[in-house]
Amino acid sequence: MADQAATLLEALPDLAGRAVLVVGCGDGRYPRLFRREGARRVVGVDADQASIAVAQREEERDPVGISYEVHQIARLPVMGAFDVVVAFLESPAHLGRVAASLVTGGLLVVVATNGLNLEEGLRDNGFQDLVLRRHESGDVHSARKTG
């Protein structure tokens, strides 16, 4: 995780005071990292109830103010207004749904876990300023949401 975490942090702006949504948060490692990096609000979402249970137990053991929810990505509701959305995706199919919780001008950072090229999907969903960072655990794409 350490190398991927460093690549992910390079793609992110300064998180101090920002609201961050993590889609595909797993056991909560990244939401906890983002709180340590100064995010004021962090919400983690994952389809796997067992992973969310692990994350919630860790939050109960060592509370840092993260909330976790179980949602299938295909039915992900708008989770609020977030400055940054970090998503772990295997398909571009749900980019629009993931981006729906992002404020205009906000940053979407996607870890493509299977060599997925997201450039076209990001542009089709109204993103600009696309940056790609290569990593063996999954390429990290970042893009800014336009109006």
Q: Strand ranges (DSSP E) for the chain?
A: 19-23, 41-46, 66-70, 82-89, 102-112, 127-133, 139-145
Q: What is the pTM of this model?
A: 0.93
pLDDT, position 41? 97
Q: CA 51, 47, 112 angle in degrees (round to 5)?
A: 95
Domain boundaries in the chain?
16-145
Q: What is the CATH number of domain 16-145?
A: 3.40.50.150
Q: Is the pLDDT of residue 1 over 50?
A: no
Share of the chain above pLDDT 70, in %: 97
> At which residue do the structure tokens 């893009």 appear?
143
Distance separating alpha carbons of residues 55 and 120, to the nearest angstrom: 33
Q: What is the pLDDT of residues 68-124, one digit of tens each?
A: 999 999 999 999 999 999 999 888 888 999 999 999 999 999 988 777 778 888 888
